[in-house]
Amino acid sequence: MSKTLTDMVKEVVEVNQEKGWYDQPVSFGEAMALLHSEISEALEAYRIWGLEDGTAGSFIESGGNPDAKPDGIGSEFADVLIRLLDDCNRFGVDLEAEYERKMAYNKTRAFRHGGKKL
């Protein structure tokens, strides 16, 4: 069963409300800084494990706990998505609609538009 972005937003918000992350308002600047921190954590995970899943290290460090915290860039990318989906809810952004709108525009752009290398 696959989830839409809208389904994922709803799930993220439900969990975050349950865990107390909606008890106080968050400013837009703070939300963006926290999103950036998740991206930085992905870079740090890459520096430690490269593209490998780092969960095995957490499993060992936890004494073999099967519920060890997931680690590595995959886990950090998931954190980026979770935080982004939550931010979309907080600031009233329909990410599915914005994705469709932006992809439609991107399809009209020239090859490597802007002359940038990356």
Structural domain spans, the chain: 26-110
Looking at residue 114, its pLDDT comes to 80
One-letter amino acid of 43: L
Looking at residue 54, its pLDDT comes to 86
Look up the pTM and report it.
Answer: 0.86
Looking at residue 29, its pLDDT comes to 98
Looking at residue 112, its pLDDT comes to 84
Looking at residue 57, its pLDDT comes to 64
Averaged over successive runs of 10 residues, the pLDDT of the chain (118 residues) comes to 91 97 96 98 95 77 72 95 98 96 95 80
- What the block records as the tokens of 53 is 């899943």
